[in-house]
Amino acid sequence: MFSANIKNTLTVFVGSAKGGVGKSTVTLGLAKAFKKRGFSVGVIDADIHGPSLLTLANFEGRHVFNSAKKIVPLLHDNIQYVSIEAIVPKHEAIAWRGVMAGRAIAQFLKDVEFSPLDIILIDLPPGTGDIHLAVCQQTDPKGAILVSTPDQVAINDTIRFYNFLKRMSIDVFGIIYNMVHLSCPSCHHSINLFDNAQLSGLNELKILHKLSWSKDLSSDFDHIIQELCHHDHFSKFCIS
Ligand SMILES: Nc1ncnc2c1ncn2[C@@H]1O[C@H](COP(=O)(O)OP(=O)(O)OP(=O)(O)O)[C@@H](O)[C@H]1O
Ligand SMILES: [Mg+2]
């Protein structure tokens, strides 16, 4: 278990077994929205093979160790970041086998020391393998937010991830559909980016939001927090 004063910290996964659907974008958007509400937020980029959170957050940095030999998260815009990207040389290809990658992330998470936090969001890589198992064991999340594009290929992978979470006894707070539509910059007509008429398989999940293809999604993340607030675990994050 990573150390910090995490007793009262809500730990939440953001994931989908599908790559490129917006998991990191959602993690970062939510982190900023929680911070804007005055909460202390930590994010973990658990993607050993393709870390991207620092790039998305538009900064660089290297982790240092404190006097207790623990990894100090990077503080940027008042959010604490932890990423393998801040340990390995830039653009280095990590060619570890699954078991080794799992052990590495477990050790890495064990060695991190956050300052006190209200919430930690963990951005998971695609798939359901050793890294996911290791992160589950190491972090004890209270639940997960799923992210998928509204097409059957992505949804099928997201169902796999959902089933993996069930096997790990991890609750799901709901699903965010991403890149659902695009507003035409000239006529503002809304264009569906996927043929999402007949999707099946995740109907039992609460839809937290449908994100459009856009450069500025900040108000959408405020809306998602309002939706999450209906869940007991998020009650302290609600605006009364
Ligand atoms: N709603 C959106 N509008 C515009 N661009 C988006 C949106 N969602 C994601 N993107 C962009 O799409 C790309 C993929 O998104 P992101 O990295 O968040 O996906 P991911 O699921 O984390 O991918 P990976 O599986 O590689 O970790 C990024 O360049 C991101 O900026
Ligand atoms: Mg990602």
Interacting residues of 58 by C-beta distance below 8 A, sequence separation 6+? none
Around Cβ 127, how many Cβ atoms within 10 Å?
A: 20
Rounded to whole angstroms, the maximal C-alpha distance in the chain is 58
Please state which of the ranges 17-26, 118-127, 142-151, 185-194 shows the lowest mean pLDDT.
Answer: 185-194
Three-class DSSP category at 12? strand
The answer to whether residue 121 scores a pLDDT higher than 70 is yes
For ligand 1, what atom is nearest to the CA of residue 27?
18
In the predicted model, what is the mean pLDDT of residues 111-139?
92
> Do you know the residue count of the chain?
240
If pLDDT is split at 50, 70 and 90, which confidence band does 149 have?
very high
For the cut 60, the answer to whether the pLDDT of residue 5 exceeds it is: no
CA distance 17 to 214: 23
Q: Is 46 helix (H, G, I), strand (E, B) or coil?
A: coil
Question: In a mutational test of the pocket of ligand 1, which residue from 16, 24, 149 has the highest number of ligand atoms less than 8 Å from its CB?
Answer: 24
Q: What is the pLDDT of residue 240?
A: 59
Distance CA 1, CA 215 (A): 36
Residue 119, SS3 per DSSP? strand
Predicted confidence band at 225 (pLDDT cuts at 50, 70, 90)? Answer: very high
Q: What is the pLDDT of residue 185?
A: 83
Round to whole Å and give the CA distance between 225 and 207.
12
CA 234 / ligand 1 centre spacing (Å): 25
The CATH superfamily label for domain 10-237 reads: P-loop containing nucleotide triphosphate hydrolases (3.40.50.300)
Residue nearest to atom 15 of ligand 1 (CA): 22
State residue 1's pLDDT score: 65
Tell me which residue of 136, 185, 127 sits closest to 158, measured CA to CA: 127
Residues with CB under 6 A from ligand 1: 19-25, 47, 50, 52, 125-126, 178-179, 211, 213-214, 217
pLDDT value of residue 6: 63
From 25-39, 91-105, 179-193, the region with the lowest mean pLDDT: 91-105
List the domain boundaries for the chain.
10-237
